[in-house]
């Protein structure tokens, strides 16, 4: 067994990870070999991360004005779907929040100034508004990483779920993938442990299947899932108007989008790729795409995604058979140095491999781009200061009348 693993690692030119094998007890050796066997080592091949893009064309959004005109109608449809128990929410909270430099789950960060106000609390408060309006709980699934699952659950318990109904909350952990240094070499995080990282926010549906959450979805007959990021403290969750607009459009998915602040804003833009809904990253856009305008003066590629999507569950089931593209992200990853000492790097030092939720949009037949006002619904907490930071999110919370 030990020999076979060693041979495999040699073949992959990764035998250095076996360095401390003889120092490990029999149990530790077994655990190490089990970990290696369970890891998806295909990420080590360069082709794993190559993605060829198709032909892009613009996708126009249902604008704020159009939504305002039909608000009552959309809301009615959305509230009805929620009351019929057809809508669930999935909170993506498995990220490492390395830019924020906060060691605990990002949702447990206190964004308050004069009082305690945690990121998870902001999200639950927002969801509670819908609960009050619809007079029913919305099933909430919270994805964590393997490492932050216990802290997340403990935090919710300690805070009494911020008034949410515990019976309507489920936690599940996403999977991990190996990380590599800049030479493509696996790293150790212990003498008998390969350094791994959560496999990106695109893994949520497959992880829901593996952890038994899809069975719960089927049992409680959820038909639509609203998926959203933990770090937007103004995030509107299970927004009845958004849900109603998507249902009314007859489309199988929806994405909340914001109009770009300027052509060069660094956001992924919702568009069509080979006729299918897709997201083009800012660095993939040509100058022509960035600056092109429609006759009405609006940018042709105008609508940035904010990681708030609505998917029809029956259509998601089909995506389980597809392998999502892997993206490499350069991050700070703890590793054992040559002297066997665990190092917590100050700067990014290694690559993690991620699938992205936005790639699930591409697997949908169509998608309603639903415009929201960024000053009311988009306050991401990515950095400590500056753009998309604790400071900017605090300002936006205040602007929206939230006491902080």
Residues of this chain that interact with ligand UTP (CB under 6 A) are 92-100, 106, 143, 174, 198-201, 229-231, 307, 331, 354, 382
Rounded least distance, CB 293 to ligand UTP, Å = 30
Q: Which is nearer to ligand UTP, 36 or 356 (CB)?
A: 356
Distance of alpha carbon 236 from alpha carbon 228, whole angstroms: 9
What tokens appear for 121 in the block? 């609390």
Complex with ligand UTP: residue 121 or 354, whichever CB lies closer: 354
Nearest-approach distance from CB 308 to ligand UTP, in angstroms: 11
Cβ distance to ligand UTP smaller for residue 106 or 149? 106
> Which residue's beta carbon is nearest to the bound ligand UTP?
95
Q: In whole angstroms, how close is the CB of 199 to ligand UTP at the nearest point?
A: 6
Burial class from Cβ neighbours inside 10 Å (0-12, 13-18, 19+) for residue 323 reads: exposed
32/353 with CB nearer ligand UTP = 353
Instruction: Answer whether 232's CB lies under 8 Å from 374's CB.
Output: no
Q: How far is the CB of 261 from ligand UTP (least distance, A)?
A: 19
Q: 12 or 146, CB closer to ligand UTP?
A: 146
Alpha carbon distance 335, 350 (integer Å): 9
Q: How far apart are the C-alpha atoms of 252 and 292, rounded to whole Å?
A: 28
Q: Least Å distance between CB 198 and ligand UTP?
A: 3
H helices of 70-181, in order, are 71-83, 119-134, 149-158
Closer to ligand UTP by Cβ: residue 200 or 304: 200
- 325 contacts: CB under 8 Å, gap ≥ 6: 49, 51, 355, 356, 359
Angstrom CA distances, 383 to 28, 202, 295, 387, stand at 38, 22, 37, 7
| Other CB atoms within 10 A of residue 239 CB | 28
Q: Which is nearer to ligand UTP, 209 or 248 (CB)?
A: 209
Least Å from the CB of residue 331 to ligand UTP: 6
Please say whether the beta carbons of 305 and 358 come within 8 A: yes
Measure the CA–CA gap between 115 and 105, rounded to whole angstroms: 20
Nearest CA to 245 out of 231, 276, 224 is that of: 224
Residues 274, 276, 281, 286, CA torsion sign: positive
Whichever of 201 and 211 has its CB closer to ligand UTP, that residue is 201
Smallest distance, ligand UTP to C-beta of residue 176, A = 9
Minimal distance, residue 249 CB to ligand UTP, in Å: 26
The rounded distance, in Å, linking the Cα atoms of 18 and 35 is: 13
């Amino acid at each position: 067994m030990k020999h076979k693993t060693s041979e495999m690692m040699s073949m992959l030119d990764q035998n250095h990870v076996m360095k401390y094998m003889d120092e490990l007890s029999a149990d530790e050796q077994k655990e190490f070999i089990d970990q290696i066997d369970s890891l998806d080592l295909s990420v080590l091949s360069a082709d794993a991360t190559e993605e060829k893009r198709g032909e892009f064309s613009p996708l126009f959004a249902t604008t704020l004005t159009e939504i305002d005109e039909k608000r009552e109608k959309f809301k009615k449809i959305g509230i009805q779907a929620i009351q019929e128990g057809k809508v669930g929410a999935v909170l993506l909270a498995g990220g490492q929040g390395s830019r924020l430099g906060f060691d605990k789950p990002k949702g447990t960060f206190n964004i308050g100034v004069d009082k305690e106000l945690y990121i998870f609390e902001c999200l639950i408060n927002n969801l509670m508004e819908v609960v009050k309006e619809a007079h029913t709980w919305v099933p909430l699934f919270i994805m964590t990483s393997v490492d932050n699952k216990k802290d997340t659950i403990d935090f919710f318990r300690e805070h009494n779920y911020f008034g949410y109904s515990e019976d309507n909350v489920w936690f599940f952990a996403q999977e991990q993938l190996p990380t590599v240094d800049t030479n493509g070499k696996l790293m150790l995080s212990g003498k008998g442990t390969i350094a791994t990282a959560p496999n990106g926010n695109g893994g949520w549906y497959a992880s829901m299947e593996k952890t038994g959450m899809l069975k719960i979805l089927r049992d409680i007959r959820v038909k639509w899932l609203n998926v959203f990021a933990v770090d937007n403290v103004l995030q509107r969750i299970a927004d009845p108007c958004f849900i109603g607009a998507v249902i009314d459009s007859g489309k199988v998915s929806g994405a909340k989008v914001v109009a770009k602040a300027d052509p060069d804003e660094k956001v992924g833009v919702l568009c069509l790729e080979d006729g299918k809904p897709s997201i083009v990253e800012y660095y993939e856009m040509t100058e022509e795409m960035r600056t092109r305008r429609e006759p009405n003066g609006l940018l042709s590629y105008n609508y940035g995604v904010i990681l708030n999507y609505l998917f029809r569950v029956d259509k998601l089931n089909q995506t389980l058979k597809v392998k999502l593209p892997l993206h490499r992200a350069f991050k700070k990853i703890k590793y054992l140095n040559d002297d066997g000492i665990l190092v917590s790097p100050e700067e990014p030092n290694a690559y993690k491999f991620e699938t992205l939720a936005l790639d699930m949009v591409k697997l949908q037949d169509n998608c309603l781009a639903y415009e929201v006002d960024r000053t009311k619904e988009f306050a991401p907490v990515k950095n400590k200061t500056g753009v998309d930071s604790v400071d900017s999110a605090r300002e936006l919370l205040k602007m929206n009348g939230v006491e902080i």
